[in-house]
């Protein structure tokens, strides 16, 4: 009987999972005057997601959306063996600026979905969210438009505050504070209780009073607020 030998290299190639083991992600702030807090970029399995529209936000998402703290979300995704790049911009991502990250899922071939989140400032609980898109496997350049979401965990009073979860007001690091108003009485608003597309900030043109501390000539936006470019080589 004639024996047939199969190359081990060919056999390994035939059973190797398909996917983009290494790819680059570029994140571009499209807004006129808003900043993004430290970004979380994660490749994860198809049965995971950071949020679900129409559903209540997790405590980890709330911490990010109200105060820009991604540490709990990082712990969540690391706990499911996600491939993570945290804070690629090394701080705030300013209007019109961009940052990039390289992800390598060679050791985690089941990480076939990409998610990116960051709080948008100034806002009470607004964030940009690319949620569990399928990572392309064919070489090329893929562009995604990303909307702003509201976590629904805090009323949009548009007043400068602590940014701590459960407390009113938005955090205002120096660049945001410099462009914010003062002494706003706050807009009467209640938390919606579920994640949804953000209505946009309202703001006003009174920088020393009025209802809002947000400048409506600088900080209003239209979706999309971010462009994400995924490059597979």
Q: Does 10 reside within a domain?
A: no
Out of 6-10, 52-56, 108-112, 189-193, least confident range:
6-10
Q: Does 8 reside within a domain?
A: no
Mean pLDDT value across the chain: 92
Query: Could you give phi then psi for residue 129, rounded to 5 degrees?
Result: -145, 115
Q: Does 13 reside within a domain?
A: no
Residue pLDDT, tens place only, 113-160: 999 999 999 999 999 999 999 999 999 999 999 999 999 999 999 999
- Local structure of 7: helix, strand or coil: coil
Q: Does 2 reside within a domain?
A: no
The span from the CA of 200 to the CA of 223, in Å, is 9
Query: Could you give phi then psi for residue 76, rounded to 5 degrees?
Result: -60, -50
Radius of gyration of the chain (CA): 21
- Which residue is it, tokens 């060679």? 106
52 pLDDT above the threshold of 80 = yes
pTM (2 d.p.): 0.90
Check which CATH number belongs to the domain holding 179 and give it.
Answer: 2.60.40.2130
| Enclosing domain of residue 31 | 19-232
Domain count, the chain: 1
pLDDT given at position 215: 96
The span from the CA of 139 to the CA of 121, in Å, is 34
The span from the CA of 99 to the CA of 129, in Å, is 16
Q: Does 114 reside within a domain?
A: yes
Residue pLDDT, tens place only, 71-118: 999 999 999 999 999 999 999 999 999 999 999 999 999 999 999 999
pLDDT given at position 30: 98
Q: Does 91 reside within a domain?
A: yes
Q: Does 102 reside within a domain?
A: yes
pLDDT given at position 208: 92
Q: Does 118 reside within a domain?
A: yes
Tokens, residue 94: 């300013």
């Amino acid at each position: 009987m004639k024996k047939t030998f199969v190359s081990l290299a060919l056999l390994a190639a035939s059973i190797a999972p398909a996917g983009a083991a290494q790819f680059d992600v570029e994140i571009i702030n499209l807004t006129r005057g808003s900043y993004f807090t430290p970004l979380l970029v994660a490749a994860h399995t198809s049965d995971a997601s950071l949020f679900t529209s129409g559903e209540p936000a997790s405590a980890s998402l709330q911490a990010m959306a109200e105060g820009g703290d991604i540490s709990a979300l990082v712990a969540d995704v690391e706990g499911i063996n996600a491939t993570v790049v945290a804070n690629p911009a090394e701080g705030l991502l300013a209007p019109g600026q961009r940052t990039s990250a390289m992800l390598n899922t060679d050791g985690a071939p089941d990480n076939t979905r990409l998610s990116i989140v960051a709080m948008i400032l100034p806002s009470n609980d607004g964030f940009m969210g690319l949620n569990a898109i399928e990572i392309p496997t064919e070489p090329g350049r893929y562009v995604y438009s990303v909307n702003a979401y509201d976590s629904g965990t805090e009323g949009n009073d548009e007043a400068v505050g602590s940014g701590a979860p459960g407390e009113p007001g938005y955090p205002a690091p120096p660049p945001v504070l410099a462009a914010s108003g003062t002494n706003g009485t706050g807009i009467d608003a209640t938390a919606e209780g579920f994640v949804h597309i953000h209505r946009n900030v309202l703001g006003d043109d009174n920088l020393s009073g009025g209802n809002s501390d947000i400048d409506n000539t600088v900080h209003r936006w239209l979706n999309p607020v971010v462009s994400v470019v995924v490059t597979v080589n």
